[in-house]
Structure 1
């Protein structure tokens, strides 16, 4: 029985130091509406999201369309890069991808973040087998999850993602069978 997971990388947000409460920008809200229109044609059964406001806002239109509440799953929140402000984000993110066991102070290594994400996706695959599931999430954790199933999804793939972006992952039981990008910025 095939399960389709629609990973939705959140739309553009307005920067605030509050990671959990950071809202979508005006452009992000417009993109969230486009995402809703795209996913209306996918027969979505379940909506799950990271607890971060920007991820929830990106998929809440889909939840309204299907008339279901969004299930919050901490495993899909963005990886913690560091507890301290990062001066050079590009250097910091490159280092954790180059050395999967490395973590900045108080942050998660790729290995640790990936384990958290995989635990969440395996739970979803068991609970909602045969369903079409939308997951509101973040770029780094999404790619770390995809990387677990296929190593071609790595740092360069992450760098090329759009914000937002949508990838449909089709699973047979817990085996990834196919990945299709369904976001098309027009």
Structure 2
């Protein structure tokens, strides 16, 4: 038996700022909303049996047009959330992220290491394969990068993650023989 999951990195969102909204509530920009509308034709062809998303607003908003077009509900799943890096919004985030990628087992106080994210991401996706056949998942760039790495894609690194567009689509095909990845794009 096989399962396909389409991972959707959320569309263009408002940037993080120290005065908010916080990372959980950052909305799509007008351009991001238009991107979400344009995704409907591609994502609806996938004919998902489940639509699920990170609970973060920008991820949910990315799938609203597709869910509406298919007459489906978006189920939010906390394990699909973005990496809890422990960093406050900062203009030099890329430097800190690059350091984390070079030391994935380390974490900031009360935060998640990239190694922990890899485990969470692969566990969450494999769990979806046990109950569904075609799943549409809206999530985040670091989550997707670490999931792909955890599923055996050896060329995933900080430059790959940093360059991932918003939105981006990755199709995962899970079979008893292993997992294949197509993307970005379908």
Q: TM-score, normalised by structure 1?
A: 0.90
User: What pairs up with 1:113-124 in 2 under 5 angstroms?
Assistant: 113-124=117-128
Task: Verify the 8 A CA contact 2:170 2:181 in the aligned structure 1.
Answer: no
Q: TM-score, normalised by structure 2?
A: 0.90
Match of 2:139 among 104, 117, 137: 137
The residue that corresponds to 2:150 in the other structure is 148
Aligned residues: 181
Cα distance in 2 between the residues matched to 1:79 and 1:51: 13
Q: 5+ residue gaps in structure 1?
A: none
Equivalent position SS for 1:20: helix
**Pair 1:95–1:83, CA change in 2 (3 A):** closer
Cα distance in 2 between the residues matched to 1:49 and 1:180: 19
Cα distance in 2 between the residues matched to 1:52 and 1:102: 24
User: What pairs up with 1:43-82 in 2 under 5 angstroms?
Assistant: 43-82=47-86
Task: Verify the 8 A CA contact 1:3 1:173 in the aligned structure 2.
Answer: no
The residue that corresponds to 2:38 in the other structure is 34
Distance apart, 1:102 and its partner CA: 1.4
Q: 5+ residue gaps in structure 2?
A: none
